[in-house]
Amino acid sequence: MTQNTSAYTSSLLRLLSERGYIHQVTDAEGLDALAAKQIVPGYIGFDATAPSLHIGSLVQIMMLRRLQQTGHKPVVLMGGGTTRIGDPTGRDESRKMLSDQTIEDNIASIRQVFARLLTFGDGPTDAVMVNNHDWLGKLGYIELLQEVGTHFTVNRMLTFDSVKLRLDREQPMTFLEFNYMILQGYDFRHLALHSGVRLQMGGSDQWGNIVNGIELARRKDGQEVFGLTTPLLTTADGAKMGKTAAGAVWLNENALPAWDFWQYWRNVDDRDVGRFLRLFTDLPLDEIARLEALGGSEINAAKVVLANEVTKLVRGADAAAAAEATAAATFAGGGVGQDLPSLACPDGSIALVDALIGLGFAASRGEAKRLIAGGGARVEGQAITDEAHVIMLDAADVRISSGKKKHGVLRPA
Partner RNA sequence: GGACAGGUGGCCGAGUGGUUAAAGGCAGCAGACUGUAAAUCUGCCCGCGCAAGCGUACGCUAGUUCGAAUCUAGCCCUGUCCA
Q: Which residues bind RNA (CB under 7 A)?
A: 167, 170-173, 236-237, 239, 244-245, 263, 266-270, 296-297, 299-300, 303, 327, 330-331, 363-367, 370-371, 374-376, 387-388, 402-406
Judged by beta carbon, residue 209 or residue 263, the one nearer RNA is 263
Distance CA(391)–CA(349), nearest Å, equals 5
- Beta-carbon count within 10 A of 289 CB: 12
What is the Cα–Cα distance from 356 to 338, expressed in whole angstroms?
A: 18
Q: Which is nearer to RNA, 97 or 363 (CB)?
A: 363
One-letter identity of residue 52: S
By C-beta, is 328 or 413 nearer to RNA? Answer: 328
The distance of closest approach from Cβ of residue 274 to RNA in the complex, given in angstroms and rounded to an integer, is 13
Phi/psi of residue 272, nearest 5 degrees:
-95, -10
Measured from the CB of residue 238, what is the shortest distance to RNA in angstroms?
8
- Quote the CA–CA distance of 135 and 139 in Å, as a whole number: 7
d(CA 289, CA 279): 13
Query: Which residue, 121 or 247, has its beta carbon nearer to RNA?
Result: 247
Report d(CA 311, CA 113) in Å as an integer: 12
Please report how close the Cβ of residue 377 comes to RNA at its closest, in angstroms: 8
- Give least dist CB 212 to RNA, A: 23
Residue 27 CB, nearest approach to RNA (Å): 36
Q: Of 200 and 281, which CB lies nearer to RNA in the complex structure? A: 281
Cα(152)–Cα(185) distance, rounded to whole angstroms?
10
CB of 386 to RNA, least distance (A): 11
Judged by beta carbon, residue 21 or residue 250, the one nearer RNA is: 250
- Residue 198, class by beta-carbon neighbours within 10 Å (0-12 exposed, 13-18 middle, 19+ buried)? buried
Cα angle 285-197-72, degrees, rounded to a multiple of 5: 30
For RNA, give the closer residue by CB, 228 or 368: 368
Closest CA to 97 of 171, 174, 181, 11: 174
How far apart are CB 310 and RNA at their closest, in Å? 14
Q: CA separation (Å) from 80 to 11, 38, 45, 158, 405?
A: 32, 30, 10, 25, 39
